[in-house]
Amino acid sequence: MITVKLFGLVRLETGIRELQIEAADLKQLQKELTQYIPREKIKGCVLLLNGSRAAGNTKLHDGDQVMLMPPVAGG
Amino acid sequence: MESKYAGYMGKVMLVDLTTETVTEYPWSDKERELYLGGKIMAARILCDHLTGKETAFSEENWMVIATGPLSGTGAPSSARFDISALSPQTGILASSNCGGSFGLYLKRAGYDAIILKGKCRSRKWLEIVDDQFIFHDADDLWGTKTGRCQELLAGKVSTKKFGKLCIGPAGENQVLYAGIISDERASGRTGLGAVMGWKNLKAITAAGTHTVEVYDKEKTKAWIKKWFEYLQKHPLTGSQLPKLGTAGLVSSMQACGLLSTRNYSAGQFEDFDKVSGETLAEEFNITNKGCQTCPIRCARTVEVHGKQVKGPELETLGLLGGNICNNDLQKILDWNYELDELGMDTISAANTIAWAMEANEKGLWDNGLKFGCVEELSAIFEDIAYRRGIGDELAQGSKCLSEKYGGKEFAMHAKGLELAAYEPRRAVGQGLGYAVSNRGGCHLNGGYLVILEGLGLHVNTQTPKAKADFTMLFQDLMETISASGQCLFTSYAFFPGFLLTKPNGLITRAVNAAATHIGWAVRFMNKCPRALALHLPVFHHTKMIKLALGMPMDFGRYIAIGERGYTMERYINCKFGITEADDKLPKRLTDVPQDPSNPKTRIPLEKMKRTYYAARGWDHNGIPTEATLHRLKIK
């Protein structure tokens, strides 16, 4: 089971902080996430696997954590 | 002197606080073309006046309060004004920007800027109404916190509508990092509140009957409409900042290892989500609000002590959150309000507390402060403002304290000004910016390279390549934005929206990969601004000036004005002895990798500095060369 944590506007707009998803790789994970989050919102986020940016075909393992982070700026 | 350009009121007044007399300070269109207004105008005035022998608490420390020419024209986010003087924290030039109402009303009074010299013989507040400058006794205002002071002023001024700024007890008692408050906004950094307090000046109000003229009314109106729409559609200025505020950065900073934690000993805080912008929005935020004429509206409104007040920005969340190991968000809301009421810089106050916690832990100073133990902090902040007990020492800031007690290696400041919440070992360009920033450890005056290094885009964060050139470009752009009276956040829409809404897209990935290899192109832009005699579709600022003021402007000229301002500020600082040796960071950031297994996670400062100086036309000692000073028309 993969823990997916949402941040930024995707969290505010869906009301979801965390999900538990079964997926073999990031690509499959993103597909599964469309059940909860609009596809274009997922595309608008950076996916971090256990703290590091990862590509779509990266394999996932039980206990992994994926964060959905939006680009931001401030002061 | 009257101007042929619209936007300007045509008068700069020199106010002698000692004799309570006012004269006009000469300022011509030639100066307006070279310096625009705001902080660069202030830098020119102070450059001409300061010799290098003055100190912050002296009558010769002139304080310049300057507006920008776009303020009052209706341009987006154009209500900002600048306060400049010598800083008691750093001993060098300070400039601090503010979004409160004072600047707009100063223009309604008929002035582009006022210069305060000397010192009031007794406690005063100054009322400006059109051509009248009236000094009032301030005995009944002295001692009040900033909110109460501003309430009392409403009952004293002769006009219903007015702008105001004031100091709180921290400024009165010359806490080195005391700020100045205008409405609920702060000119927070560099201790200018202490300068005002030393001058015995509690507050200034401004009101008047003048209007700000616009050059081409129709085209200006159309351009403003177009720019408003662009900002409102942009993912940063139209979504993230209005809906989450700057608080929305906490989670992303955590993810990137940029969130200063335990006095910058780490870049991630385990409990970050308890103090994140998302939690603030979900559980505490009542509404968002903005400065006048701003479509971005990034400020939060929260409840503190039963009142609806302005909520904290990212800096306060980070530095009073993970950096002191506090995970109680309500406490941060309370402290933010209390520090504003006392008139103190939240960044320097928080950083000084963090240093003190570590100093206590290491046995250097027995002050009773501990990471994570924050119940007494409200009382400590009051003690700082009133200079009581350990508060009297904490009022000196981390630099002075570390010189007294030891612990310099973890006193997290540059040139005496405490660093912002961005832990830079995972964004080395930001580290360069902190070190070379003219006013000290400032993330914005330092160029805000984190927007490339993980927050907006995601270039290689650990390489020094191209970072010096980007730092210079961003510093210069921001310099001119401030000088025009606008908010720096208008610059974030410079990044085309698709780069941010498709962070994994082919083009964004290509930009991220290429960015650190195109330092030569950025260097060309910096060196040859005349080649950029155009308006960029993503940078609306240049056409705004052309249409609203009637002043010739393009992207190249815009950068050139910023470069002039930045080097002039450096030139002033060099008069006070600043050299390459002062462009440094605490050893924690340059010598200790954030990740012990990755030696690259520290700041390769020296290499970047050399490139930066060369790009700026400064010598190896960080001093602007004569050729550069003449090229930029500073000399």
- Cβ atoms B485, B74 nearer than 8 A: no
pLDDT of residue B405: 98
Phi, psi angle pair for B484, to nearest 5°: -80, -10
Q: Which of A43, A47, A69 sits opposite B502 (nearest CB)?
A: A43
DSSP, res B76: T
Phi, psi angle pair for B113, to nearest 5°: -160, 160
Angstroms from A9 CA to nearest CA on chain B: 7
**b/e burial code for range B355-365 (CB count within 10 A of at least 16 → b):** bbbbbbeeebb
For residue A18, the chain B residues in CB contact (below 8 A) are none
Write the CA distances from B62 to B14, B15, B43, B47, B211, integer angstroms: 9, 10, 11, 11, 28
CB contact under 8 A, A9 and B246: no
Half-sphere exposure of B331 (CA within 13 A, CB side): 22
For residue A74, the chain B residues in CB contact (below 8 A) are 241, 245-246, 248-249, 298, 313-314, 455, 489
- The gap from C-alpha B568 to its chain's centroid, in whole angstroms, comes to 17
Sequence-distant (6+) residues with CB within 8 A of B346 are B188, B312, B315, B316, B319, B320, B335, B336, B339, B340
B236-287, pLDDT tens digit by residue? 999 999 999 999 999 999 999 999 999 999 999 999 999 999 999 999 999 9
Q: Does A9 reach chain B within 8 Å, measured CB to CB? A: yes
Verdict on whether the full-model pTM lies above 0.90: yes
Binned at pLDDT 50, 70 and 90, residue B106 comes out as: very high
Two tokens at B377? 């902090």
Phi, psi angle pair for B103, to nearest 5°: -60, -45
Binned at pLDDT 50, 70 and 90, residue B543 comes out as: very high
The whole-chain average pLDDT of chain B stands at 97
Binned at pLDDT 50, 70 and 90, residue A68 comes out as: very high
For residue A71, the chain B residues in CB contact (below 8 A) are 235-236, 240, 252, 455-457, 499-500, 503
Question: H or E stretch including B432?
Answer: helix B428-436
Question: H or E stretch including B572?
Answer: helix B555-575
Q: Count the neighbouring beta carbons within 10 Å of the beta carbon of residue A57.
A: 9
Between A24-33, B47-56, B192-201, B522-531, the lowest mean confidence (pLDDT) is in B522-531
CB contact under 8 A, A69 and B236: no
pLDDT of residue B529: 85
CB contact under 8 A, B235 and A71: yes
Is residue B598 scored above 90 in pLDDT?
yes
Place of tokens 């000036």: B545
For residue A73, the chain B residues in CB contact (below 8 A) are 236, 240-241, 249, 448, 451, 455-456, 489, 492
Is residue B134 scored above 90 in pLDDT?
yes
Sequence-distant (6+) residues with CB within 8 A of A26 are A47, A49, A54, A55, A56, A57, A58, A60, A66
- Please give the Cα distance from B429 to B455 (Å, whole number): 13
Q: Which of B255, B455, B502 sits opposite A44 (nearest CB)?
A: B502
- Cβ atoms B373, B408 nearer than 8 A: no
Compare all CA atoms of chain A with the CA of B239 and give the residue at the minimum distance: A9
Tell me the residue type at B132.
Q
Phi, psi angle pair for B295, to nearest 5°: -85, -10
Share of chain B above pLDDT 70, in %: 100
Q: What is the average pLDDT across B375-392?
A: 98
Q: What is the average pLDDT across B402-407?
A: 98
Sequence-distant (6+) residues with CB within 8 A of B456 are A71, A72, A73, B236, B492, B495, B499, B500
CB contact under 8 A, B244 and A67: no
pLDDT of residue B264: 98
Q: What is the average pLDDT across B344-362?
A: 98
Is residue B530 scored above 90 in pLDDT?
no
Is residue B374 scored above 80 in pLDDT?
yes
Write the CA distances from B559 to A41, B67, B400, B563, B622, integer angstroms: 35, 19, 36, 6, 21
CB contact under 8 A, A75 and B244: no
Total residue count of chain A as it appears in this document = 75
Place of tokens 């007015």: B162
pLDDT of residue B429: 98
B452-504, pLDDT tens digit by residue? 999 999 999 999 999 999 999 999 999 999 999 999 999 998 999 989 888 88
Is residue B11 scored above 80 in pLDDT?
yes
Angle of the B555-575 helix axis to the B605-616 helix axis, nearest 10: 110
Is residue A56 scored above 80 in pLDDT?
no
Compare all CA atoms of chain B with the CA of A45 and give the residue at the minimum distance: B503
DSSP, res B582: G
Q: What is the average pLDDT across B432-461?
A: 95
Half-sphere exposure of B611 (CA within 13 A, CB side): 22
pLDDT of residue A74: 83
Does residue B526 or residue B511 have the better pLDDT?
B511
Place of tokens 């690509």: A27
Alpha helices in B364-396 (DSSP H): 377-385, 390-394
Q: What is the average pLDDT across B624-630?
A: 98
